[in-house]
Amino acid sequence: MNDTINVNWSKLLSRIVLYFVVALICVVILYPYFVMVCTALKSRAEIFAINGTIFPKEALWTNFIDIWSKAPMGKYMMNSIIIAGGSTAIAMICGIPAAYALARMKFKGQTAFLGFIIVSQMFAPVVLLIGIYKVLKIMSLTDSLLGLIFINAAFNQAFTIWLLRGTFMSISAEMEQAATIDGCNRLQAMFKVLLPVAAPGIVTTLIFIFINAWNEYTVALCLISTDTLKPLTVGINIFNGYNMIEWQYLFAASIFAIIPVVILFMSIEKNLTSGLTAGGVKG
């Protein structure tokens, strides 16, 4: 009887500690966003007040409206949607066949090619920025959305191939063989059998590519000089002046930049775990 009580108390204590640690991690992660929302609701005078507090004395919801008149927010958001959408489409169109070939076919240099894919992930865009600028300068794409689309697609290509390759390898090849027996060629078997089964992994990969392209800042800052072509991540710097930063507008605009990412994560929450674990199969 005493042993049972001790076991129950130990389980209860371990669960309490676990919940406490999880709650602490959530507070640490969410605190910056809480400060962002509170600051976005303040007036300029309250932000720079000496005896100010985190909570706004009077919530100014008009800050979220004023940013649309002070900056072309709609244009910035549309540019980000075009860049992220175009980059995702190109990365997926090129990545799916490449991942399928690496998962189902054997060819000379396959191991070296996989190693090259992994190594390419080690280079940050800022390291290659000068080379990227020279290449786009030759192609006359330095100040264009198309140039950013190609760059973002290229930097997300390795991630696309690696994750989708694992997803395809987790699916039995016998399903495609059965489709070929029924009269399908390899391409038809891939589209009619493999891709529908691999939908969770494909959706997860697609969303991650879109979010990476949406959040990209450094390359866009260096390549885009025309104000109307700037994505949202760069465009909101309009509230960061030389003499003073309008924190209430900067944070309000940042919240609008976060909303699409939050919506996308909520939309794939059910498929996220299965998609990531499917892409983690050892090849």
Same domain, 75 and 28: no
In a domain, 65, yes or no: no
Q: What pLDDT digit, counting tens, does each position of 106-160 carry? A: 878 778 888 888 787 777 777 888 888 898 889 888 889 999 999 999 889 988 9
* pLDDT attached to residue 283: 45
* pLDDT attached to residue 87: 94
* pLDDT attached to residue 76: 93
Same domain, 246 and 193: yes
In a domain, 150, yes or no: yes
Same domain, 121 and 167: yes
In a domain, 161, yes or no: yes
Cβ-in-10-Å burial (0-12, 13-18, 19+) of 38 comes to middle
Same domain, 95 and 179: yes
CA distances from 253 to 61, 228, 250 (A): 13, 16, 5
Q: What pLDDT digit, counting tens, does each position of 194-206 carry? A: 888 888 888 888 8
User: What three-state secondary structure class fits 107?
Assistant: coil
Task: Write the CATH number for 106.
Answer: 1.10.3720.10
Of residues 122 and 40, more confidently modeled: 40
Q: What pLDDT digit, counting tens, does each position of 219-243 carry? A: 898 889 898 899 999 998 888 876 7
Same domain, 24 and 76: no
* pLDDT attached to residue 7: 55
Which residues sit opposite 245 in a β-bridge? Answer: 240
Q: 91 phi and psi, to 5 degrees?
A: -60, -40
Which residues sit opposite 240 in a β-bridge? Answer: 245
Predicted confidence band of residue 3 (pLDDT cuts 50, 70, 90): low
Same domain, 187 and 115: yes
pLDDT (mean) for 71-75 = 88
In the chain, the amino acid numbered 55 is F
In a domain, 50, yes or no: no
Same domain, 130 and 258: yes
Same domain, 33 and 168: no
* Tokens of residue 57, six digits: 């004395």
* pLDDT attached to residue 54: 83
pTM for this entry: 0.83
Q: What pLDDT digit, counting tens, does each position of 50-67 carry? A: 777 788 888 888 889 889
Same domain, 21 and 161: no
CA angle (268 as vertex; 89, 28 as ends), nearest 5? 115
pLDDT at residue 191 greater than cutoff 90:
no
Q: Give CB contacts under 8 A, 24+ apart, made by 94-97.
A: 94/153, 94/157, 94/160, 95/157, 95/160, 95/161, 95/164, 95/205, 96/160, 96/164, 96/195, 96/202
Same domain, 32 and 168: no
Cβ partners under 8 Å of residue 258, min gap 6:
33
In a domain, 173, yes or no: yes
In a domain, 95, yes or no: yes
Cα–Cα distance between 249 and 254 in angstroms, integer?
8
* pLDDT attached to residue 91: 93
- For the chain, what percent of residues have pLDDT higher than 90? 20
Predicted confidence band of residue 272 (pLDDT cuts 50, 70, 90): low
In a domain, 81, yes or no: yes
Same domain, 142 and 238: yes
In a domain, 190, yes or no: yes
* pLDDT attached to residue 231: 93
Q: How many domains does the chain have?
A: 2
pLDDT at residue 82 greater than cutoff 90:
yes
Same domain, 142 and 85: yes
Domain interval for residue 255: 70-278
pLDDT (mean) for 28-51 = 87
Q: What pLDDT digit, counting tens, does each position of 4-20 carry? A: 555 577 777 888 888 99
* pLDDT attached to residue 245: 82
